[in-house]
Structure 1
């Protein structure tokens, strides 16, 4: 039998483990699927990303700025129900940094997640994944410190800086997910049970588009990110009802400075009666029918 002091210490450890069951440590990469990779690449470059590597065997490009990695995938998947490249880019996957990828994968399956069958080719890593919203995937990555997944699967572009600095301190802040009517509780439970996300109070909001429900990842503060779940607005006719990842949120210490710097690169921001740039946040215009970025004030 343990003493009260020992029990207290054990309880604290259990609480800490339950708070972050997978050892989440931020976002490793976000992936777009598109049939027009060059056009999407131009958009990413305006936003400060730089192409740094090509996949060894597929039509896939890696873009980076600061600590953010974005993958542009124009490879036609061989699996059914995968995100098919189309003219209109779609957010096809998000990779989460975890303590142990195999353990995280097993935990997710135990909690009811659906496995994505691996399709690994020669000289490629097997990165475990589960099904996310719509046709998207959620990958688990535990190689992100001294050794990364890109060291195996990608070939660096010669003479290109492999770690270009972030524009105005940009970093991953979160992802906006559109969900079906009355599906908020279902998706909140999905992220809570599988990953340990915590729902924020209704009055705690970020940026300039405070709709839906905000979930906070259990990551350390230095790598924390958020998910915003938004149901369709029933008051609007012909509401988009398809569930899927909608846009990327980028944090920055000074929104107005970031807007000014990105404006020099050709990025335009939405200025309307309902949405306009301010020190809390800003929203870029939409490119290629689906690609936009939301800036949010965040000191990290």
Structure 2
């Protein structure tokens, strides 16, 4: 992710944003993998802890602070990239699931067919980029979706604290040629995201454009293919998530002590503005961004 919140303009600089869905950030992200234990080790190094198992599927819930990560190995298929996990879904917190879902369909979104087992929750979703899904959740306060479908792991703290104040900051999405306007319209019309000024590129990476959520808790980075690259992969997908922290060097130091490696090269290196973890398959890559929280 590109944005450094301390350098970001006040929300008034882009005007008040309409929030038609009552969007309130991310409830969970979901990875699909054929190697759940290896991915789990990668997540634990980042500070996440397994807190619950799905009642009927090979699915684990990891958590730290206010962040939930689903690791889904139920009928997962190999990604074809050395066994690396696929960022398969994101769940948005919304004011009313039924209204959010209807609005999406009315605006042309495609519904995801769900196969719900007896006594499981039906969480509606629409198709996102590539084969990904966008879920809608309106139960995250005193009653959550995990109370029904998951069984807590005994002796494990169900609410492990966040390491170095880590929290969701944003999502990085790779898009195809000449698709920038299409995706800006998709996130803007369906969810109320607004494009930030083109020069608002801070942190350790400088590609792409940034969209800001109407709730002010989430940023979406759209990156087009590099036309100067020797080989161009024009596939569209969710590439990685970015985690915000008020102190990037402190977070980097703590994560290094836990065995997390960071990319340090002439093009990308850890600074007080951000850092990028090195993902050795079957792990996942995460970006750190300075964010007051």
* TM-score (structure 1 length as normaliser): 0.90
Tell me the secondary structure at the aligned position of residue 148 of structure 1.
Answer: coil
Deviations 1:51-70 (A, max 9, x none): 00000000000000000000
1:207 to partner: Cα distance = 2.0
Cα pair 1:56 1:154 within 8 Å, conserved: yes
Residue pairs, 1:1-300, within 5 angstroms: 19-76=18-75, 84-86=77-79, 87-219=83-215, 221=216, 224-288=217-281, 291-300=284-293
Cα offset for 1:85?
4.9
Large movers: runs of 4+ above 6 Å: none
Equivalenced residue count is 276
Q: Distance in 2 between matches of 1:53 and 1:126?
A: 19
Note the alpha carbon deviations across 1:30-76, whole angstroms, 9 max, x for none: 00000000000000000000000000000000000000000000011
Q: Secondary structure at the match of 2:74?
A: coil
Aligned-pair RMSD on alpha carbons?
1.4
Q: Which has the higher contact order (CA 8 A, sep 6+)?
A: 2
The runs of 5 or more residues in structure 2 that have no matched partner are 1-14
SS at match of 2:173: strand
Tell me the SS of whatever aligns to 2:111. coil
Q: How many Å separate the matches in 2 of 1:35 and 1:47?
A: 20
Gaps of 5+ in 1: 1-14, 78-83
Instruction: Tell me the TM-score normalized by structure 2.
Output: 0.92
Checking the alignment, whether the CA contact within 8 Å between 1:74 and 1:85 is kept in structure 2 is no
Greater C-alpha radius of gyration: 1
